[in-house]
Every structure is written in structure tokens, then in C-alpha cells.
Amino acid sequence: MRTAKWLPVALGLTILGSAPVAAIGAGETEKKCLFVSSYHQGYEWSDGVERGLRAVLEGKCEYRQFDMDTKHRKSTREKEQSALEAKAIIESWKPDVVITADDNAAKYLIEPYYRDHHLPFVFAGVNWTAKEYGFPYSNVTGMIEVAPIVPMLESAMDIVPKLRRAFYLGADTLTEQKNMERFREAADQLGFMLEWALVDSVEKWLQVYEQAQETDLVILGSNAGINDWDADRARAGVLELTRKLSVTNHDWMMPFAIIGVTKVAEEQGEWAGKAAIAILGGIAPSAIPIVPNNRRDIWVNPKIINAASITLPVSMMRKAKKVLLLE
Amino acid sequence: MSEIRNRWLFKTSDVVGFTVFACLTCVSLAMLAIWLDLGASKTAFEERVSSLQRTLAQQFGNTDAILTSLAGLHHSSDNIKAHEFAGQSRELLAAYPFVDAIVQANVLEGQDREAFEDRMRSNGFVQFSLNEHRDGEIKNSTLGRNIHLPIVVLEPFDPINASLIGYDMLSNPHLADALATAIASGQVAISNSVTLPNIGERIFVFKAFYLGYTSPTTESLRKIQTSGIIALVIDPRHFLEKIFRDYSDLEITFLVNRDASDNIDRMLFNYVPAQLSARLPFINAFVSRIPLTEKNPSFTLEIRSSPRFEQIRFWLVILLVVIGAVGCGFLGLAIWQKRAGQLRSDEDERVLRENEIKFRDFAEIASDLFWSTDRDLQIDYSSDEPFGLSVLPLQALLTGEESSSTIRISGHIARQLADDLKNHRPFRDIRYSCNDGDGPAKWWAVSGKPTFDSDGNFCGYRGTGRDVTKETEARHALIESKEEAEIANRSKSEFIANMSHELRTPLNAIIGFSEVLQSERLGALGSERYRSYAFDIHNSGNHLLSLINDILDLSKVESGFDDLNEEKINVAEVVRALIVLIKPHAVKGDVTLELDFGDDLPPLYADERKIKQILVNILSNAIKFTRPGGVVTLRIHCLPSGEYEFQVHDNGIGMTPEDVEKALLKFGQIDSELNRKYDGTGLGLPLSKSLTELHGGVLEIDSLKNRGTTVTIRLPAFRTMLPDGSVTEEISADTVL
């Protein structure tokens, strides 16, 4: 019905030449796509997802975005409130498809309110598994976020063949606890011991980092959740303290690590956008399988390498992206 | 003889037959030109097909190269990782956009299936399971086989293609044959087309990669050392259309024979560029078939030429058929028109003959004379055949030789006729008389009309003549009778006028002396009887005098000797004066006399004495023929038209229409009791009528027996004086007369 209502307007615009009509056709450009981000604009991961999404949806549908801002609205009540606000927007604006990014949107919006609903959802950036939220639903598909843990540890083991002990250092958050558990499973699989510490201040982070130099490998988790994070201080501390190989799966942690095997945030957004377009084109969400992310990048940090007097294989140095070039 | 041959030559069937034969000849020549490939259009088409074949070979060579490079990646690496294979695939896809997707499938033994599925699920494919595509749907089954070839890597990795992850390609019989060929041969093998859910119709191009750094050299080794399969997923339309765009002058049909046992080709798609949508009529396109694969499945391209190749042939047809047909058409039309004109001419001639005969019959039967002349006015036709006596005087009249003949014609008419003939003008009803032999003269009336040819040149005259002898003689007799009657009437009036004058002279003596006797002025008569005789003499004398006066007046009018003494008169005063004279008669007859007019009557320009005479006569008659107690009304007024109207109405004895007619005759007084009671000359009404008409007016009588009579005298408007006292210009002697 909405199509019929807006069709004359679209035709009028076409005739007047006052607005370019995308090749997808007048009937499709008026579709509405709502993007619900769990976090806020300026958060690097979310921005990457949003870039990928916007690049795909540009000109394909009317785009709106709602940020739940759960990095700042941390309490359960606040997150639920953000989800209700998103729900209110959905009910008033009536989008044709909703794209969500990261776990909180899935947990507080899709699972409680839109399970097997007629409104299609495409999620992106749900960590590791969708089973936690009961996915798949008949109206939900998406891309889950899998950190390339094993490939990264395999690369580390190529450099440190006698890897026996490794240390995981991250922020004291629920997400980091889950990540750490993944690393523990991988360590078991690859045959080394994993120690770990989750901290809530940069000072503790540096202290633990120093202690971690006693092991064969330092794995840096995310710093998101360390409220007093000071990048300069952390970088200076790392340059001073590093003696062992450090790795990370987070590109924003690369200033503090030697090797990074990272996900590509844009891939999540691009996938979600393409899935949304396919759904708008008539494909049922259930016909699109839930998949993990597929792309990765490899990084090295020459500054820390030099400071720590660590030698990396020539092939890796040739292949990997250099952190300094991007700073 | 000539006419007979022409009629035979121009028969309609012959014309049609000749035209059809000529057209068929043209068509045959055109077909011959096409068969001989004049213009070398077939050669040009074959060169284009050959070029297309080379392009296709190059494109197929590209697929071989892609697959070989990817297989080489596996052979050259101890541990090629999925993301490395995907990275290579992305680069190849960018370089070769005709490939829709690149997939890798690994050989999986049945007993490892569960562990494999668990591992895939733990790596993020939460719904992963081996599947097959059946009936357009994805089913979680692999038909219980021990060997599987599930797709584990694909690029581009997008939501639509993602459904191919876990697809066991061996489960599809259309793919299985090509897979077996690829594995056993180590070469590239093309699958049949398969329909993939949400993706559409695709063709797979397979190449196997094997364990070890080099490919096995025998078929048996290849079968047992197969590690996996690399496949290019190709949309055949997408694959070929990119090529076909450079061959927009060809219509290309992509055919597939899926089963070698039946030789029925199924069309996968038909590439028809927009400009090929309309084909040329009567021209069959060149057709060529290019086999893309020899074995099962066999792909074939059927190529048809575009109108570009057919244009030369088409124009040959146009040249030979259309121009030939037009020429034949013109020839046929010309012959047909000639034939039709001949038929029309025959018909016109027949009609003309009939009309001429008809005209001659009419002319000869008619009492009138029909004639015509040549341009020299010599009569060349006359209905009085052979030229009768009536024609010769006419010829003389037309040529101006009437003076030398017996023709009598008025001079000015003869001059007018000569002028008309000279200037080639029509003339009408020219009358002349002539003597045809010894008999009496005959009168003729002739009319003529000049004729001209289509260029306006004078050709002669056509005309009629009519014998008007009887008509002319009758008219002459009538004129003579009228003149005689008028002379007689005038003589009579003059006689009566003279006689009346002569009669009045002795009457004056009789009336005068009888009055002296009656008054006994010279002494008493003595006897009463003398006095009675004297009274009778006096009355009789007066009556006779009155009669003579009326006769005199009437005679004057009729003889034209009476003139009007016109002046401006006040009608009201005039009427009141004459009423004084009339009123005693009314009183005596016990008749009431009523007047109906105002003092604002306009002046009347007329002869006062004659107006009085008219009114006295009318009023006297009204009183005379009204019984005691009756009423006579005099009404005077001006009509809206300006006419002056006097109306005398009585309720007396009235008259029948016959009486009215009689009363207007001289001495026509009707016989009645009242008439005998009152003496009268019987000339009053005729005299009044004559005097009224002398004024240009009319006198009308409207009467009903025993109901009364109304006499209306209406004088013309110009006699009514204008408000400023002037008289209209129309009042003149001529007008009045």
C-alpha cells in the first residue's frame, strides 16, 4: 500500500528531474532501512560497521540510524531503555528492514521484542555465536563476529615455536571475559598454557603487562572498559617494557602490540547491507544463512619490534600492514 | 479491323496477366541475385561468426587459465589457507568479471562428515550442515553417499552466495558428470546448467586439484589422489552477453542438449539486440551454429544474421521487385486507362447519337423553329427541314439583308439586333413580319444565343423561332378597340357637357319665371290651380337643373376637363358650414345627425368646393336612406399612416353587395321606398367617387341590408398638412393628376 501511495510522488520527481532515481527503481528507493547500533558514533568498531553499511545501502533505501550508546549507558536498565527507544522508532517510522550492530542490540532489542516477528532483522557484530540469543529466528539473519584467534596464535607459534605460556590482558568487562575464554579454548587446542588478567585502569594494565613479559607470548585484549585509558602513557610503557612477542585481534590495540590479526569492521556492515537489500528484494531472512566474518588483516608494529629487539620472519614483514604508516 | 484488334489487345485479363508475369519475373531475378550472394553479404556474416568463435575461444581459454592458476596455488603450497585462497579469488574475480563466483570444495569422506560439520559450526557457521539442492530448495541430505564435495570457500562471500557453503556438489547429477570428467581427466570440465535457489541458472566449470606438488599422470591415480575441486560459477547469460555486446549485429541463441540420448536442444537464453527486433520481410536470415562443447552436455550457439547483412539483399529485392513492380504498375495502369478511355468514348458516342436523335425528334415535333448558324451566321441547321419558307427571312435578318427581302421590322429593333450579332450577344424575342409567298404576312419572334468553343472562340448562334402571327393580330385588334372606345366615351362626355350647358339656359328662364308666378309678384294668379302649376314648374325646373349640374360635373371629370382648385382648408369649419345646409333634411326625416371630430383636425390641402360636394352627397344619401329615428354619424380623423379619413355611417336600410355595385354606376340609384320618397338624380355616389379619385383618394362602401351603411372617403397622406403648415413636396400637379 505504501508503494502505491508513494508511486505518484516518485514519478513526479522523475518527471521533474529534481531528484535522481537510483537504478534499483522508484519502487525500491522508498524502502526504509533502520540501523540500530549498540554503541555510539566515534567508537571505531561501530564506525567501521557503519561505513560498510552506508556504502552498500547508499541510494538503495531511505536510511536512518539510532545509536543505543551502551558504552556509556552501561546499566542493564539503561540498555533496556535504549532498546525501548529503538523499538519506539521502529513502530513510528515503520522500516522495511532493521540492521543491528553488536550484541546489545541483539540482546535487548531483537530477542525480547522481535523474535519470529514479521519485521526482518539483519544483525552484525554479534560475538562468536548467535545461539546465546536463540538465533536463528525466522525473521533474523546476519553475520557473527569471530575473532581470528587460531590463525593469530598459529602465526605467533611460527615465530615462537617453543610456546609454553601465554598471558591474556584485557579490560575487566563481560565481553573480555568471553574473549578470554575463547583464547583459553584455543590454547588448549594448540597445546600451551594461558594465564590472564582483566583490569580496570591503565596503571594496572601496565603493571600486568610488565608481569606478562615473564611468559612467552602476550595477548592483548580490548581496552574498551578501562575508563582512564591513556594511550600515550600506555604506548610509552609498552615501548619501555616489551621484551616478548605481543599479539592482538583488535586493530585499535595495534599501537601497543607487535603483531595483529584483526577483523575488518566494514565487512560486517557490507554483509548486513547486502543481506538487507536481498531481503528488500524478496528473499526471506531464513534463506540467508548466518555466517561468520571472513576477512582479516595482518599488522606489525615496527616501533615496538625495534624497541624489543624481536625479529620477525621476512615473509610476515613483507606481507603485514605497518602500524606506523597509518599513525 | 484496327478497332477490333485494339479491343482484343486491351482486354482486362490480358493486362492483369501481363502485370503478374512481369512482377514474377522481377521476383525471380531478385531471388537469383540473393542465391548468388550478390553483394557478398553471406561472406561478411561468416566472417563475423568466425570472429565470434575466436572471441569465445579466448573467453573459454580465460576460464581455463583462472582454474589452472588456482589449482596451481594448491599444488605449490603446503598449507594454503582459506583466506589466502579467497584473496586470490577476489583478485581473479576483479580481473575477470564474467565469472560470478569462485568456489573451492574439499573431498570429504562420509565418516568425517559430523566432525567437519561441528568444526564449521564452531567457526561461526552456526547453521552449517552438508546440503544438496533439490527441486529448487536446499535440503540437509547428501543421499547417503560416502564421498562428498562440499563447498567450503567461496568468493564473493555475500549473503546470496553464502547459501552455497556446505553444498555437496556431488549430490547434483548435472554437476556430478562434469566433476567426474574433471577429476578423471585433470582438465577443465563444463557442467550442465543447474538452477540454484535464490541465485538462478548457473554453469560450473570445474578443475580438480590433487594431493602432492604435481598432478597425477594417470586417470586411476587422479581418482584416488583428488584433494578438492575448484569451480568457476558462471551465469551463462552474464558470461556470453558481455561478448555478445560486441556482436550486436547478430541474434544469438544459447542452446543446451542436456541428455545425449535425445537430440533436442533446449534454449537457455536468446540474445536479441534491440535493433534486431524487426526483421526484413521476405528475407531469410543467415544461420550458423557454433558447438561450444562436443560431449554431454553439448552447448551450441545458434547465430542468425542481422538486417545489416540482409540490407544488400533487401535492396536488391527492392530494386528488382519494387521498381519493377512500380514500372509494371504504371504500364498496366496506362493500358488500363487507355482501355477505359476507349470504353468511355464508345459510350459517350452512343449517348451522343441517342441525344441527337432525341433532340431532332423533339425539334421536328415542336411547333417552334430551332436553328443554328456557323461563325459566319449562315444557318447550318433548322428544324424546318429542308430549309422551309420560314428560314430564308431569318437568314436575311441575321445577315442584315432584310432590306432586300420582304421582312418588316422596326428600325431600332433591327439596329439593336445587328449590334447584338456583331458583339456576339444573345438576343431575345425579336419580332418581325414577312410574306411567305402570296399569302398574308406572318409575324415571327426569334431568340438566339451565341456559342463558343473551349477556347472562347465564337462558333455561331443557336436559337429558336416562334410564329406569333395570331398573337400579334389579336393584340393589334385589342389596341384598336380600346382606342375606339376611349374616343367614343370622350365624345359622349363632350356631348353631354355641351348639351347640359344648352339645357341650363332655357331652364333658368323656366325656373325664374315660375318663381315670379309663384310669388305673384306681378299680380295674383287667381286660381289655386295656377299657383299649383307654377309650384310644380318651379320644382321640376330645379330638379332638372340639379340633374344637369350633376351630369355636367360628372362629364367634366370623365372628360378630363375638371381641375382641382386646391388650397389649405379648415375641415372643421367647412363641415360645420355644410351641416347647416344638411341639418334641415335630417330634422325633416327625424334622423339624428351626429358629428365625431375634434377641433384639432389638421388642415387639408384640397378643393374645398368639391370636398363639400362629396360630403353633401354622402350625408344626403345617408339621411335619405335612414328611417325616422335613425342616426347618421360623420366621423373625421387622421389615420396613423397620415391619410385623411371621412366616414359617414348610418343605421338605415343598407344594401346588398349587388346594390352597392349598382349604386356606384351613373344613374344607378337603387329602387326603394325611400328612393321614391326622396327625389334624386342617381349621380351622387358616382360623382363623389369620381371627385374623391380626382383627389387621389378612394371611396369605399361597406353595407349590410337592413343594418346600415358606412361610406369611407380616404384621402392620401400628402394632402394632410404638416404641423408647421407646410405641404409635402409630393403635392404637385403631376402627383395629383
Q: By three-state DSSP, how is residue A205 classified?
A: helix
Concatenated DSSP letters of A91-135: HHH--SEEEEESHHHIIIIIHHH-TT-SS-EEEEEEES-SGGGTP
Between chains, do B159 and A136 touch, taking CB under 8 Å as contact? Answer: no
Residue B146 pLDDT: 87
- Which one of A130, A146, A288 has the shortest CB-CB distance to B159? A288
Residues linked to residue B206 through DSSP beta bridges, in sequence order: B189, B231
Q: Which residue has the higher pLDDT, B417 or B307?
A: B417
- Total Cβ atoms within 10 A of residue B105: 25
Supply the pLDDT for residue B538: 85
pLDDT of residue B2: 43
| Beta strand residue intervals within chain A, DSSP E | 32-37, 62-67, 97-101, 121-127, 140-145, 165-171, 193-199, 217-220, 245-248, 259-263, 291-292, 296-300, 321-322
Among residues of chain B, what percentage have pLDDT more than 70? Answer: 85
B591 CA to centre of own chain: 76
Tens of pLDDT, residue by residue over A252-300, are 899 999 999 999 999 999 999 999 999 999 999 999 999 999 888 899 9
d(CA A178, CA A168): 12
Q: Alpha carbon of A69 to those of A73, A107, A172, B347: distances in Å?
A: 6, 14, 19, 108
* Mean of all residue pLDDT scores within chain B: 81
> For residue B96, is pLDDT > 70?
yes
Residue B28, H or E segment: helix B12-35
Cα distance from B157 to chain A (closest Cα, Å)? 8
**pLDDT score of A191:** 93
User: Are B127 and A136 a contacting pair at CB < 8 A?
Assistant: yes
| Closest residue of chain A to B162, computed from CA coordinates | A289
Using the beta-carbon criterion (under 8 Å), do A290 and B165 form an inter-chain contact?
Answer: no
Per-residue pLDDT, B680 = 63
Whether the Cβ atoms of residue B195 and residue B179 lie closer than 8 Å to each other:
no
Task: Provide mean pLDDT across the span B671-692.
Answer: 70
pLDDT at residue B494 above 80?
no
pLDDT at residue B282 above 70? no
The number of residues in chain B equals 737
Among B400-404, B621-625, B719-723, whose mean pLDDT is lowest?
A: B400-404
Instruction: Output the pLDDT for position B39.
Output: 66
pLDDT tens profile B288-328: 888 777 665 677 888 887 766 766 666 776 777 677 777 77
Q: Which residue, among B157, B165, B199, would best test binding to A if mutated, counting the most A CBs under 10 Å from its CB?
A: B157
Q: What pLDDT was estimated at residue B108?
A: 93
Tell me what the mean pLDDT of segment B505-512 comes to.
85
Contact A271 B124 (CB under 8 A): no
Highest mean pLDDT among A153-162, A195-204, B62-71, B164-173: A195-204
> How would you write the pLDDT of chain A (327 residues) with one tens digit per residue?
344 444 444 444 333 333 333 333 444 458 999 999 999 998 888 899 999 999 999 989 999 999 999 988 889 999 999 999 999 999 999 999 999 999 999 999 999 999 999 999 999 998 877 788 888 899 999 999 888 898 899 889 988 988 999 999 999 988 899 889 989 999 999 999 999 999 999 999 999 999 999 999 999 999 988 989 999 999 999 999 999 999 999 988 999 999 999 999 999 999 999 999 999 999 999 999 999 998 888 999 999 998 888 888 888 888 888 876 444
Task: Annotate A251-271 with DSSP letters as a single string.
Answer: GGGGGG-SEEEEE-HHHHHHH
Q: Which residues lie across from B253 on neighbouring strands?
A: B270, B302
Contacting residues of A for B165, CB less than 8 Å apart: 289, 291
Q: What was the pLDDT predicted at B233?
A: 94
Contact B165 A292 (CB under 8 A): no
Shortest distance between the Cα of B66 and any Cα of chain A, in A, equals: 22
Residue B278 scores a pLDDT above 60: no
Find, among B444, B451, B432, the residue nearest to B377 by Cα.
Answer: B451
Q: Do A291 and B157 touch (CB under 8 A)?
A: yes
> Which amino acid, one-letter code, is at B699?
L
**Cβ neighbours for B483, distance < 8 A, ≥ 6 positions apart:** none
**Which pLDDT value is given to residue B669?**
55
Residue B723: which pLDDT band, with cuts at 50, 70 and 90?
Answer: low
Which residue carries 591415480 as its cell? Answer: B221
Cα distance between residue A250 and residue A168, in whole Å? 13
Helices (H), ranges, B123-244: 173-185, 219-224, 236-244
Q: Furthest-apart CA pair in chain A: how many Å?
A: 72
Task: Count how many pairs of residues, chain A against chain B, have C-beta atoms within 8 Å.
Answer: 57
| pLDDT at residue B244 in the model | 81
CB contact under 8 A, B125 and A275: no
Measure B93 CA to nearest chain A CA, in Å: 16
Among the partner-chain residues A130, A283, A294, the one whose CB lies closest to the CB of B157 is A294
Among A280, A291, A319, most B C-beta atoms within 10 A, so best to mutate, is A291
pLDDT of A221: 95
Q: What is the distance, to the nearest Å, from the Cα of residue B513 to the centroid of all Cα atoms in its chain?
A: 97
Distance from CA of A198 to the nearest CA of B (A): 25
Placement of cell 432525341 in the chain: B358
* Order of strands, sheet of A97-101, starting from the edge strand that comes earlier in the sequence: A62-67, A32-37, A97-101, A121-127, A140-145, A291-292
Out of B232-241, B264-273, B630-639, the most confident range is B630-639
Smallest CA–CA distance, residue A1 to chain B, in Å, is 26
pTM (2 d.p.): 0.54
Residue B7's pLDDT is 52
Find chain A residues with C-beta within 8 A of B167's C-beta. Answer: none
Average pLDDT over residues B687-711: 91
Q: How far apart are CA B315 and CA B321, in angstroms?
A: 9
The answer to whether B86 faces chain A, any CB pair under 8 Å, is yes
Q: What is the pLDDT of residue B699?
A: 93
- Choose between B404 and B631: higher pLDDT: B631
| B13, pLDDT greater than 90 | no
**Could you tell me the pLDDT band of residue B495, with boundaries at 50, 70 and 90?**
confident
CB contact under 8 A, A288 and B197: no
Quick check: B14 and B338 in contact, CB under 8 A? no
Q: Find the residue in A nearest to B166 (Cα).
A: A289
Is the per-residue pLDDT at B728 higher than 50?
no
Q: What is the CA radius of gyration of chain A?
A: 22
Burial of B574 (0-12, 13-18, 19+ CB in 10 A): middle
Whether residue B105 is predicted with pLDDT greater than 80 in this model: the reply is yes
Contact residues, chain A, for B197 at CB < 8 Å: 287
- Closest alpha carbon within chain A to B198: A283
